[in-house]
Structure 1
Amino acid sequence: MANSFDLTNLLRENIRKLIPYSSARDEFKGEASVLLDANENAYGSPLERNYNRYPDPLQQQLKLKLSKIKGVPARNIFLGNGSDEAIDILYRAFCRPGIDNVLLVPPTYGMYEVSAHINDVAIKKVNLTADFQLDLEGIAETIDANTRMIFLCSPNNPTGNSLHREDVETILANFGGLVVIDEAYINYSRQKTFIQELTEYSNLVVLQTLSKAWGLAGLRLGMAFASEEIIEVFNKIKPPYNINQATQELALKALDNVETVNAWIREAVAERERLSEVLRQMKFVVHVYPSDANFILVKTVEPRHLYTYLVEKSIIIRDRSKVELCAGCLRITVGTPEENSLLVEALAHYHPEN
């Protein structure tokens, strides 16, 4: 495993030659009183707020506000329709269908594999170790000349733990392709983000989202942070207006509430620890895994029976017992104090089958 990263060589030939679609708003910058360039309905819209005009294709205002919060220049930010759009673009930009492969480290977020199949890209897998950390030796032995990307989720889903930072840095320093670090749950973690390492590693892409700590899952707004050259590739491929006007406006308002969000994070972390401690005392719980996320992975005696029991109590959790290394495990999202108390009460009255 040796780092000989070259973005030009990594980029697919058809993407390198691609002339992106140029929207009307791409061609004009500035203020104007009469807009007759984009075939919009000039009369307005039937909604209280006029949405008859196309949105900013590059979401400049939103990126400037995110830049101040994240401490990253706006030119290093891509905004997508959820992080899933960024994942799909990475495959389309850097992986040749039927030729190249990516490396995944199960158990991990399932969309990496789904997107690989959609784009006809082969998958190599190196399972995490028993304590859900990277198998560096196995990774070095598995990658080959056609391995274009390695996806790492930290804090990891569904296990909840953060990957050892020094292990991730070893891969960044030695792998010649892209290293994609998915930090969807970073706000709940003790570990600092890799965003500040963008200037050190040209092959680094960091994914984050406003769906978790910011509570904007319904808006579907994901973020990718990378070098300016990689961000230019994202913008070359994305649909011209991938983030709608309503989402941009609502996200801008939400980003004014940093203190509120930080208070939610503190409470969620406190509830995570409270819930973990309560679960450890229950006889049918085999193990509660340490978590840096807003959920807990719990190994139980009878996962399916317990899952069904909670469904009957109108409490929905996630059965992860069929996932690699997660036999017997259920994933429980940390809810509000009231929701967590309802869960604890239901579990107190649970009786295993055997």
Structure 2
Amino acid sequence: MAGQQFQYDDSGNTFFYFLTSFVGLIVIPATYYLWPRDQNAEQIRLKNIRKVYGRCMWYRLRLLKPQPNIIPTVKKIVLLAGWALFLFLTYKVSKTDREYQEYNPYEVLNLDPGATVAEIKKQYRLLSLKYHPDKGGDEVMFMRIAKAYAALTDEESRKNWEEFGNPDGPQATSFGIALPAWIVDQKNSILVLLVYGLAFMVILPVVVGSWWYRSIRYSGDQILIRTTQIYTYFVYKTRNMDMKRLIMVLAGASEFDPQYNKDATSRPTDNILIPQLIREIGSINLKKNEPPLTCPYSLKARVLLLSHLARMKIPETLEEDQQFMLKKCPALLQEMVNVICQLILMARSREEREFRAPTLASLENCMKLSQMAVQGLQQFKCNFTRR
């Protein structure tokens, strides 16, 4: 019985097949999940709103221009480099000679199996004249023709080919492995194990775990689940929310909390500047202790929104925070609308008397606040459009 042997890639040609597949499995999903989304989408949406609700909001839309961010650029560079490597490996694979393809001398000479010796010699002479190097032919093809002719004209070689499929007789079963030989070298075994352990036991679990942790924190509209829970609690608690109460609940979103959103900022100077703005604005209802509505981050967001509606001049150190807060407001107000609508539908589908649905006035005030935030105007000065 013939033995078995494993052939590793000493030349490095077939390793490109393995490497191309490996890079493709990384680059293609990474492009789908990590390619930066259109940064101008929010700006286009706001421009469409401006066309509907009038020109007056353009005064404040200038504050909503996206701030320069280097992270999307770095992601694009890394992904493009990965695709460049993938295309290069694909090109190398397409140019790699197939050294391990099945050898058939009849196919090389363009003959049918069982051809006579006379037919073999005649075909050999024709192909030799065509591919002879001295006559401008292909030297590699000529060598293959000569090898096939020798295999079919020698009686023993031809018999071995017909019985064993190999001119040299029975051979050991060979398995090709598209890995370089140095990977299985005993000298490099510890290094290879360390690399595999680091990749599959450390890096891969960390990447998957980080992605899963981030994904479960957000809803389908990319709003923090904690924010939705906060809105649901206070909307159910206060069935009829006036504009002041609505602004308080809006500012309680976890998107403004540095603990839950790394883009939110909290500076030591806020302890001085925010109280100054509170004195200029007037009463903002600080008596009730309702966390998180009375937390520092929520209080800061509320003051910045009220100063925006009053078109007050704020210190330069707070302008960036105000722009961040204003960019979040449309999506957060839409989430609040969704919460109110869901609670109303739940109340209609239940028969329990103790389940209280929010009033339609709360829904209307929420929609009004969205227009107020975009136009930068207070309630009685805002241009509301009814359809």
Which TM-score bucket, shorter chain as reference?
A: under 0.3
Q: Which has the higher strand share?
A: 1
Q: Which has the higher helix share?
A: 2
- TM-score normalised to the size of structure 1? 0.22
- TM-score normalised to the size of structure 2? 0.21
